[in-house]
């Protein structure tokens, strides 16, 4: 079990990058599938919405902190590019 945890800890960043790339490549397919599920079973949509709402409420501080850091990083990069355009 410990070696399994070590494996996931060592490869966390690569796994996150792969998952993000997968989502970007398949975003439209995922959205279409969710839309079809919503039409076939409105209860599934309500359950997903309630889950997302409760997750956000539980983790609001962490989510807002991550958003603020991402925004600050983008501003910093944008400022560096405009300060030295060449």
pLDDT of residue 1 exceeding 70, the answer is no
Write down the pTM of the prediction: 0.60
d(CA 16, CA 82) in angstroms, rounded, equals: 30
Tokens of 42: 């409105």
Tokens of 32: 């279409």
pLDDT of 64 = 97
d(CA 3, CA 35) in angstroms, rounded, equals: 40
Tokens of 41: 């079973």
The candidate with the shortest Cα–Cα distance to 56, out of 72, 70, 45, 67, is 67
What sections of 1-86 are H helices per DSSP? 2-10, 12-40, 42-58, 60-83
pLDDT in tens, 32-84: 999 999 999 999 999 999 999 999 999 999 999 999 999 999 999 988 877 77
């Amino acid at each position: 079990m410990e070696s399994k945890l070590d494996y996931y800890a060592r490869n966390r960043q690569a796994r996150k990058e792969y998952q993000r790339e997968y989502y970007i490549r398949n975003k439209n397919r995922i959205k279409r599938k969710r839309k079809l599920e919503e039409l076939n079973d409105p209860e599934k949509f309500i359950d997903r919405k309630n889950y997302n709402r409760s997750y956000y409420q539980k983790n609001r501080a962490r989510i807002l902190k991550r958003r603020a850091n991402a925004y600050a990083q983008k501003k910093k990069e944008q400022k560096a590019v405009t300060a030295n355009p060449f």
